[in-house]
Amino acid sequence: MSRMPTYRNFVSRSALCAVLVATPALAALDLRDYDDDLMRDLEKTIKYFEPDITARNTQAAKEDAEVLLDGFRYTEDYFAKKGKDDAVAISRDGSRLVADVVSNLEKGDFDAAAASAREATQVCKSCHEIYKPRLAR
């Protein structure tokens, strides 16, 4: 349990570093071809993900996880094609956390699943800080 605050600090610091490193390059990045409908679906789904877990609604949480995993895969591929390694890493972190949620749900460990879901939400936010246009937030 004592590793969680350290991990959260690491994730927070990593996200901050990613923002600082990526900000100059972002001005030249065109994101108009990103699937906006997918992003809206992901944003809606992530809002229900952790509440579905804490409500012990395993089926809904697994359905949420499928949507999120598809979204992280799309995002990873999208940013890989654009050469944005930081966004690819963020997408992989999100996929790993969502996979952890599914694994914990299958074990019946709802507390661990909810903790991973909260971390996945933070991963999404860290990418949005870098890549989501300010006017779209």
CATH number at residue 107: 1.20.120
Q: Each residue of 90-131: pLDDT tens digit?
A: 999 999 999 999 999 999 999 999 999 999 999 999 888 888
Q: What is the pLDDT of the chain when averaged over all its residues?
A: 85
> Which of 37-46, 49-58, 127-136 is modeled with the greatest confidence?
49-58
Query: pLDDT at residue 31 above 50?
Result: yes
Question: What ranges make up the beta strands (E) of 15-121?
Answer: none
| Number of structural domains in the chain | 1
Q: Which amino acid makes up residue 18?
A: A
Q: Could you list the residue range(s) of the whole structural domain that residue 102 is in?
A: 3-136
> What's the CA gap between 26 and 53, in Å, rounded?
35
DSSP 46-70: HHHHHHHHHTT-HHHHHHHHHHHHH
pLDDT at 103: 98
